[in-house]
Structure 1
Amino acid sequence: MSIAEIGEFGLIARVVSRLETGPTVLLGPGDDGAVVAAPDGRVVASTDVLVEGRHFRRDWGSATDIGHRAAAANLADIAAMGATPTALLVALCAPGDLEVGWAEELAVGLSAEAALVGASVVGGDMSSSPTLTVAVTALGDLGGRPPVLRSGAQPGDVLALAGRTGHAAAGYTILSRGFRTPKALVEAYRRPDVPYQAGPLAARHGATSMIDISDGLLQDLGQIASAGLVAIDVHSDAFTAPPHMRDAALALGVDPLQWLLGGGDDHALAATFPPGTPLPEGWHEIGRVYDGEGVTVDRKPWSGPRGWDHFK
């Protein structure tokens, strides 16, 4: 059955039936707006959009996979502010011949990823469109802490990483070449493994700046360097490609370090900490902050890919 056959309100009913409501939701889908608890008194908000053919392909992953990816892209932004995600709002624009089951599976993926952090899908919107598009807005709670901004890095700070980089980029390259293995890398592209708890943990340990690595490590570190008017140097020896990544890189003629430093979509978190501060559990040092500007690798300019830019 297509969504044109079931209609907007029939589709909404089917999708809502797939959603679970968490403890922060005081009023879920069904009214003009949802009501979500904000114990801190401040709400962190972020939004992201996934467009078919630009951000995902239906033949590369299931609707459930795409739901996980769409939710993760937004939940990671909330964690990068040092906050705990509480709710998601989702807008779906789709062609009328889209199968109802696909939209239902998308809802399952969105809800399941949100549940990993105790958040819920609380509402959204739907519209007909020739291009399948999923737009998500995430809300979060700071728990009484100040937000961790991109602009706070200081010369002498330690640069640290939580989570992994390069895996989703490797999976993307594999899929784009028409292959489906190694499965671990393909699955990393389909469903990110995001260190959500590392964000609030870093905030509690005094992180001076933080960012979600969505477009590539070097690209996103450039945002911290620019915002803080500092230079950042990444230590290449802090990165080791696992055997299956090295094997895939050899077969595809790629330097795995290009994936590790320039690949996005894993949604690792990068943060800076004052010198001498013990790093929180799950974080490891990958570089330093200096006076100056820009991002270097081993104190030298990086000539390889730096990351994704939608308009380049």
Structure 2
Amino acid sequence: MSAIDSKLLSQLAPRDYDGKEAQAGLRFAAMAKLYHTQLVASSIAANLAWIMVLNKLTDDATRWAGPHIIDLADGKIVWLNVDAFETAFKAHFCAVDDKKAALSELVKLCKASHKLGTAKDYTANFNAIAARTPLSDEDKRARYVDGLPYKIQNEFAVTAHKVDTLEKAQKVALRMDQQLAERAEAMPKIKGWGRRGERVAADRRGPEKRSCFNCGEKGHIQRNCKKPPRGQQAAASTATPPNPTPSSNPSTSDELVALRSQLKELSDRIAAVSLAKEKEGF
């Protein structure tokens, strides 16, 4: 290899990449293709050239590069060409932003599903989003259970089902969701019978079917009644006796005359006492 070749290679060598930013990963993949092509053109074996490329990966990216370096050192063909390398590299590193977005979507889904939705809808949405995340199966199971609607979580707590995998957790949750739906469908039939059902029906009657507790008339309730309260009506009826009906019996007429006289005398006494009290108060 000439001095010019060495200088060119150093210029083509990609910058170290830590696997964190997807945009930086795209630049690394593009430079790695050129770098590997130039290394092979300089009579360096293809596997050794790939090892030199992978040695530019640092930090978190080394976890992906490590197994590939071992395979390359053993003489295995990992990528048939630079395009195959680029595809594999982008699939792992350049989808990081999408994975972060998927995690954010998953958190929002779990929070929203506590009170709304069914386990069926939640499970379908969860699986679609979780497939785009880097979460392990155990993490997915834990997040799935935490995001279930509260009514399903309560059933989990009561029945104490063993759900050590995501598949088992989803199977149990869907069965519970179906059972709760069947109970909900049966509830209206139960409420329609007995005293509880009668009370609900009575509460739902419109104003036109109700009777006023004060006056007894239909079409309004007591608080909207325009007539005096029942106590005042009773007092008024007691203070003013009804006029007697005429009678042809002389003895009855005499008794009525005497009764009227007594009532007038009593009324005069009450008026005199009231007048005296007013004067004293004055």
Please classify the TM superposition score into its range, dividing by the shorter chain length.
under 0.3
Bigger fraction of residues in strand: 1
Q: Give the structure with the larger helix fraction.
A: 2
Q: Which has the higher contact order (CA 8 A, sep 6+)?
A: 1
Max Rg structure: 2
Scaled by the length of structure 1, what TM-score is found? 0.24
